[in-house]
Amino acid sequence: MVRVYFDTQHLYYLPQYLPVAEKLTNAGVECIFVLYPEEGFDELKRSELDKAGMAYHFLDSPKNAHLFYQQNKADWIFFGNPPQFCKSEKAKIQARLALVLHGIGPKAIYYTASEFPFDVRFVEGQQRLQRLQEKFPESGFVDTGYAKLDPLFDGTPASICLRELGLSPDKPTVLYAPTFYPSSIEKFDESLPQLLADYNVLIKPHYFSLTKERYEGQRALFKKWATHENVHIAGVEDYNLIPFMQISDVMLSDASSAIFEYAALNKPVVWCDFYQTRWSYRGILKFRLEKRLDPDLQMFHDLCTRATLPKQVPAAIESALNNPEKLEPQRLQITQDMVGATDGQCSERIKDYILANS
């Protein structure tokens, strides 16, 4: 029997992995999720994988994963990020290593992740395939599309509804999905619910905003925003963005890969082109922020209605909702280039590749 491990450094890797694991399991492949302790969230991981009928195994640290993979044979190991063991350890692992990156956003990690010598990387769209092949001509890349988005296109119904979240089905719904850094969160301060009083506001923070000590200030804002009746804040248990994408009308975001994901639905996006940055990323040190963000960020100019200040956001949202067709050609073209196929069959293509190469 073919055996595949899914190296799951964080809870939020599950939406990337589960569509693939389900296809492989249905094809008779043994799938095992390799998990690592995250205080307060381990039971949630167990519950989600039990619900999906997936086997799992906990290790003490990603840095020791190579020892487990050397001792426990498999055909393939999937990673959502480069592994924390060094490149020299790869030669000691019998299994082949595959990368399904945990995001498709405009951060430099999208490209630098391929500095690790994976046996194959499943990528999203011909433009990204070409760029990766140019940067890493010795590596193997296969354009499959982004498996995480399959439930948006294969008829899977939304698992939540506005009424269940205490929101009005008679109001337009804004999905605010900021990244953790560099983020627009702090720039809104306490005024966000009043700024968007005419809308339902679904706020889907990044996992790190909810879990990392450094972002305690962001959590304080979430707590204040949650007191308003037009706002729902997703918790860490709501780790999957897909259901929120399905029930919203427009996305509000910043430097997040969620913008590319949402645009693939051909729904309008408002880009918060304003960010809270640490002192070590300002002034003469601004080059650090530019290094963190890839030039792909410039595509947001074509893809989104842009706001450069928080006070511009309501008008930008109104414009995007009243004229959803305005940027439709750009959304369709950039989706083709940066997301790839949106036919609900991305995980099927990954499954076919694994079976043909096991």
Q: Give the pLDDT of the chain (358 residues) as one tens digit per residue.
A: 999 999 999 999 999 999 999 999 999 999 999 999 988 889 999 999 999 999 999 999 998 899 999 999 999 999 999 999 989 999 999 999 999 998 887 767 889 999 999 999 999 988 889 999 999 999 999 999 999 999 999 999 999 999 999 999 999 999 999 988 889 999 998 999 999 999 999 999 998 999 999 999 999 999 999 999 999 999 989 999 999 999 999 999 997 889 999 999 999 999 999 886 544 444 443 444 444 454 666 788 889 999 999 999 999 999 999 999 999 999 999 999 889 999 999 999 999 999 999 9
For residue 157, the 8-state DSSP code is P
Which tokens go with 27? 């094809």
Helix, strand, coil percent values for the chain (each to nearest 5) = 45, 15, 40
Nearest to 52 by CA among 144, 151, 123: 151
pLDDT at 288: 43
The number of angstroms, rounded, from the C-alpha of 89 to the middle of its chain's C-alpha atoms is: 28
Going from the C-alpha of 91 to that of each of 54, 97, 142, the distances in angstroms are 28, 11, 22
Please, what's the largest Cα pairwise distance for the chain? 58
- Cα gap 351→17, rounded to integer Å: 11
261 with 173: CB under 8 angstroms?
Answer: no
pLDDT at 104: 86
Whether the domain at 3-146+341-356 and the domain at 163-338 fall into the same CATH topology: yes
Helix/strand/coil for 138: coil
Q: Which amino acid is at 274?
A: F
- Cα gap 76→4, rounded to integer Å: 5
The CATH number of the domain covering residues in 163-338: 3.40.50.2000
Beta-sheet strand order (sheet of 120-123): 55-58, 30-35, 3-8, 76-79, 96-99, 120-123, 141-143
Boundaries of every domain in the chain = 3-146+341-356, 163-338
211 with 185: CB under 8 angstroms?
Answer: no
Count of CB atoms situated within 10 Å of the CB of 154: 14
Q: Which stretches of the chain are assigned E, i.e. beta strand?
A: 3-8, 30-35, 55-58, 76-79, 96-99, 120-123, 141-143, 173-176, 200-203, 231-233, 250-253, 269-272, 305-307
pLDDT at 276: 66
Q: Write 63-68 long-range contacts (CB < 8 A, 24+).
A: 65/7, 65/34, 66/90, 66/92, 66/93, 68/34
The arrangement of secondary structure in 3-146+341-356, i.e. its CATH architecture, is 3-Layer(aba) Sandwich (3.40)
Does this model's pTM top 0.85? My answer is: yes
Helix/strand/coil for 212: coil
353 with 144: CB under 8 angstroms?
Answer: yes
pLDDT at 283: 44
Nearest to 102 by CA among 218, 211, 264, 256: 256
Sign of CA dihedral 195, 243, 78, 355: negative
Using CA atoms of 87, 9, 353, 339 in order, give the dihedral in degrees to the nearest 10: -110
For residue 156, the 8-state DSSP code is P
